[in-house]
Amino acid sequence: MAERLLKAGFVQMSMGDDVEANTTKALAMTREAIDQGAKVVCLPELFRSRYFCQTEDDAHYALAEAIPGATTDAFAALAAEHDVAIVASLFEARAPGLYHNTTAVLDGANGYAGKYRKMHIPDDPRYYEKYYFTPGDLGFRNFSTRHGELGVLICWDQWYPEAARATALLGSEILFYPTAIGWHPEEKDQVGAAQHQAWQTMQRSHAIANGCYVMAVNRMGFEPDPASDGGIEFWGRSFIAAPDGTVVIEAPADEECVLVAELDLSAIARQRHGWPFFRDRRIDAYENIGKRFARD
C-alpha cells in the first residue's frame, strides 16, 4: 500500500494576562510549525488567555468572541497563505448568556471549515467549566480538509471512549484534542505521576481502539488561581500517538515548543487490517451504551 505522508505539528505554549500578546505568540508559533513543513497545525485549548475556569467570575465572559470572527479570520489568512489546516480552540460567544468551549478548523484556501463545540463539560476544583460553557449541540464532527480527515474533540472529551469512537466512525484519520490539563501543585507529589500516565494512556488507547492517529496538545506552565493561593501547573507533554499506540513525538513538560512529525496516513488501513476492530464490532449488542446506567 502506497504511503500517504502528512507533516502534522502542534504548538505547546504558556499563556499570560495579555490576550493580544497570547494571540500574536500563537500565530507566530503556528507560522514556525508551517516553516518546519507542517500541513496541519493544532493549538492548545483556549490559548488566547489564561485558563480562567479556575474561578467563577462573570468578568471572564468578556473574553468570549464570535466564531467565525476576528481570531478565526487571522488564522484563516495564515492557513490560506500557506495552504495548511489549523485547529484553533476558542471561547465562543453565541448569544448573551450562551457560551461554548469551541474549536474552529481553518482549511487552507477554503477558509473557515466549521467548528466543534465541546460535548463533555467538567466541574471540578479549579476546572469550573460548567459555569462558563453550555454543552456542545453540534454533535461529534469530522472535517474533510485539503490535507486529511480531521476529527476534533476538546480536553475533557478525551476521557470518553464513546467520543473518540463516534468521531472516528465519521472517517477521521487524526483525532485532535486541544487540552488544558495539569496538576494541583499540592497534590503533585502524591498523584502527579499516576495522573499524567492515565492521561497519556487514554489517548494512546483511543489511537489503538480506532486505528487512527491522536494528537493531544496541552498548555504548559503555572497559572495562579485568582481566587485563592492555589493554581494549576499545566504539565505540557503534548504528543502524537500512532494507530498502534506508539508515541511518535512528545514535548517536554516545562518548555514552550513547536514539534512537527511526518505521519503515514496509509498506516491506518494497515493497522485496521491487522486489528479489525471496526469489522468485529457488535453493533447489534450495544444498546446499554445509550443508557446512563444499565441496571436502572
Query: Catalytic positions, please?
Result: 45, 118, 155
Strand order in the sheet with 231-235: 182-183, 231-235, 220-224
- Residue reference for cell 477554503: 110
- Contacting residues for 268 by C-beta, under 8 A, at least 6 apart: 173, 211, 212, 213, 243
- The whole-angstrom separation of Cα 112 and Cα 103 is 11
- Contacting residues for 185 by C-beta, under 8 A, at least 6 apart: 222, 230, 231, 233
How far is Cα of residue 113 from the mean position of the Cα atoms in its chain? Answer: 16
All three cell numbers of 62: 468578556
